[in-house]
Structure 1
Amino acid sequence: MQIRTATEKDIPGIIELLRLSLGESLIPKSEKFWRWKHIDNPFGASMVLLAEQDGQLIGLRAFMNWQWQLQGKIYRAVRAVDTATHPDHQGKGIFKKLTLQGLDEVKSLGVSFVYNTPNQKSKPGYLKMGWKEQGRMPLKFNINPFGYKGKMPVETTNWSDLRLADDFFHIQNQGMHTQYSQAYLTWRYAENPIFNYHYLTDNSSYFLAYRYKEHSFGAELRITDLLINKKNFGRVQKKQLGKALNSRSKKVALISVSGNNYKIMQNYYPFFSIFPIVNKGPIVTFRNIQLESEAFDQLIMPEQWAYSLGDLELF
């Protein structure tokens, strides 16, 4: 078995392997989606390793580039995401070999840490390879009984109209958060090929991204990001945001926001219920690459993070 770095010429074979290994699901197995996720990413193209045997592609492992910011310091990281093993070659340790080699290679690229959101089945394997579990992503929600069994809202959003002020991305949020930029928001939301996202903004003090999800009990409005420019955000702006969000929440049975972003930014949210914050979101895990052990242990403490659903949503 040989392990090598993937190139764009490998994409058709990668898509075929993903389909063979995982089948079709909500997340499409297509070249369009792969290119958006692993090539067009404004933080840089993913590092993708392939395993081959006798000229056949039998395994892959992708590490998606990301940049986090804490108190003005930028941390380069990768998210361990797509992985697949050919059905005829499972049980041979291919996943582990690809993952461990990937960790060695991203270290040479200046990556500080790896993170991901494994499921209960895959988590033990990650923990054996040195990952540390931070816990489950917090969830806050509102229930609207008048939206029970209601129809899925239909909205049209023109993302080309988004023009956030120049100083919007120089705000110092408390806690570790994605290094936001106009390019990031465009890629993450406007160009997303699988979900339709919408936003609320006045272009100077707040930006809120959301999408709808259909359930058997009705529709859910999921808030994926809230950015606040505290310099310009006051009572008038909070009222304006609240009015716009409230009009949309009346059409759904559930409104939710996930992530530590809510815990840190809750004073800026226009409204939410008395329901407590519950830890029902995805499991969040981290693997140190080249930080000092003490610094890494301090860094991954939950209270250090202000991640949102937009950062860790499964896509």
Structure 2
Amino acid sequence: MLIRKGTIEDIPAIVELLKSSLGEGLIQKSERLWRWKHVENPHGASPVLVAEEGGQVVGVRAFLRWQWIYKGQILQAVRAVDTATHPDYQGRGIFKKLTLQGLVNAEEAGINLVYNTPNESSKPGYLKMGWTEMGRMALKLKVSPFAYKRKAMPKSPPQDWHKLESLVSRFSNPILSIGRVQTLLSPAYIRWRYLENPIFDYYFLSDYQSYALFYRIKPHRFGLEMRVVDLIIDDKSFNEKAKSSLTASFKKISSSCFLTSASGKHYQLTSNAYPDMGWLPILDKGPIVTLRNVSLQEEMFNELSKQESWGYSLGDMELF
């Protein structure tokens, strides 16, 4: 069996392998999705490994590139995401071989760390391969009882993405000044992550001067969820008037949804900027987060292994 780097030419075979191994699920697999996610990503193209036997791709492992910034240092990271083994080849250690070779390649490429959000079934395998469990993501939830089982989608305000994009370069994460790990923002990232996303429709609230709050609406059996995925502001112009404007726009959408969710960590660190999210406490009920050191000094990695070093939003950690 040959373990090698995946190429653009492998994409059709990779997509077929994902379908045959994993099924369609909630997110339909396609060449368009793969290219957007693993080729067009402004953080960089994903390192992809495939296992090949007899000219057939029987295993795949992709590592989504991501750039974080921490105390002024850009961290080159990859997220262990899409992986599949052909049903006829399962039980032969292909997943482990691809993962371990991926770590070797990552170090050679100057990657600093790997992170992912495994489930309870896959977590033990990662821990055996040297991953560190950081704990569960914290969530901030708001419930609007009168919107229970409401199905009508809330009307979003006019969405002028071109106008917003011209302002993004002067916006920043509200936690920028407090030295927590955050995604390296750029207009290209915002466009790729939210506007061009082929899976979900994302919307934003903005006064086109001082803030932009990004969200999507997710249907559930109990009604709708407003998922707040990002909040960026202009520190110089975001004031009480701007926060009142954001709060008013936010209330129109969230009151139509039974559930509103946001990253508990991001909300806690930037509560002076976030609109009101109700009285429910922050809960450690989100996905498990695990890290694997690749090339960081031990002292730095130990810092990053603590939840309090991070300030991620749901948009940073959402699976797609």
Distance of 2:262 and 2:73 partners within structure 1: 26
Distance of 2:208 and 2:66 partners within structure 1: 25
Check conservation: 1:142, 1:272, Cα contact below 8 A: yes
Alignment partner of 1:167 out of 149, 163, 170: 170
What residue identity is the alignment partner of 1:160? H
What residue identity is the alignment partner of 1:70? Y
Structure 1 residues 259 and 270: alpha-carbon distance in aligned structure 2, compared to 1, 3 A threshold = closer
What residue identity is the alignment partner of 2:198? P
What residue identity is the alignment partner of 1:30? S
What residue identity is the alignment partner of 1:167? R
What secondary structure sits across from 2:139 in the alignment? strand
Check conservation: 1:169, 1:181, Cα contact below 8 A: no
**Which string of whole-angstrom CA distances, capped at 9 and with x for unpartnered residues, describes residues 80-109 of structure 1?**
100000100101110000000000001111
1:41 and 2:46 correspond: no
In structure 2, the residue matched to 1:186 is 191
What secondary structure sits across from 1:57 in the alignment? strand
What secondary structure sits across from 2:81 in the alignment? strand
**Which string of whole-angstrom CA distances, capped at 9 and with x for unpartnered residues, describes residues 152-179 of structure 1?**
3154634233232542249734311000
Distance of 2:27 and 2:106 partners within structure 1: 25
1:240 and 2:245 correspond: yes
Check conservation: 1:14, 1:60, Cα contact below 8 A: yes
Structure 1: state its 5+ residue gaps: none
**Which string of whole-angstrom CA distances, capped at 9 and with x for unpartnered residues, describes residues 2-58 of structure 1?**
011111111100011001110111122100100000001001110000001111111
In structure 1, the residue matched to 2:289 is 284
Distance of 2:272 and 2:147 partners within structure 1: 26
Structure 1 residues 173 and 23: alpha-carbon distance in aligned structure 2, compared to 1, 3 A threshold = farther
Check conservation: 1:38, 1:46, Cα contact below 8 A: yes
Answer with 34-43 or 223-232: which moved more: 223-232
1:303 and 2:305 correspond: no
1:49-128 map, 5 Å: 49-128=49-128
**Which string of whole-angstrom CA distances, capped at 9 and with x for unpartnered residues, describes residues 201-226 of structure 1?**
22332111000011111111110001
Check conservation: 1:165, 1:203, Cα contact below 8 A: no
What residue identity is the alignment partner of 1:75? L
What secondary structure sits across from 2:270 in the alignment? helix
Structure 1 residues 170 and 301: alpha-carbon distance in aligned structure 2, compared to 1, 3 A threshold = closer
Distance of 1:203 and 1:301 partners within structure 2: 35
What residue identity is the alignment partner of 1:244? S
Distance of 1:155 and 1:181 partners within structure 2: 27
Shift of residue 229, structure 1, vs aligned partner: 2.5
Answer with 42-51 or 261-270: which moved more: 261-270
What secondary structure sits across from 1:268 in the alignment? coil
Structure 2: state its 5+ residue gaps: none
Answer with 74-83 or 171-180: which moved more: 171-180
**Which string of whole-angstrom CA distances, capped at 9 and with x for unpartnered residues, describes residues 273-303 of structure 1?**
1111001111111000011112201122111
Length-normalised TM-score, structure 1 = 0.96
1:238-277 map, 5 Å: 238-277=243-282
The alignment of Structure 1 onto Structure 2 pairs a total of residues equal to: 315
Identity %: 53
Runs of 4+ in 1 over 4 A off after TM superposition: none
1:13-28 map, 5 Å: 13-28=13-28
What secondary structure sits across from 2:57 in the alignment? strand
Structure 1 residues 154 and 143: alpha-carbon distance in aligned structure 2, compared to 1, 3 A threshold = closer
Distance of 2:168 and 2:41 partners within structure 1: 22
Distance of 1:87 and 1:170 partners within structure 2: 43
Check conservation: 2:169, 2:186, Cα contact below 8 A: no
Distance of 1:165 and 1:48 partners within structure 2: 31
What residue identity is the alignment partner of 1:120? E
Check conservation: 1:44, 1:65, Cα contact below 8 A: yes
1:191-206 map, 5 Å: 191-206=196-211
What secondary structure sits across from 1:295 in the alignment? helix
Shift of residue 73, structure 1, vs aligned partner: 1.4
Check conservation: 1:67, 1:179, Cα contact below 8 A: yes
1:217 and 2:222 correspond: yes
In structure 2, the residue matched to 1:140 is 140
What secondary structure sits across from 1:193 in the alignment? coil
Distance of 2:28 and 2:16 partners within structure 1: 12
Distance of 1:152 and 1:107 partners within structure 2: 49
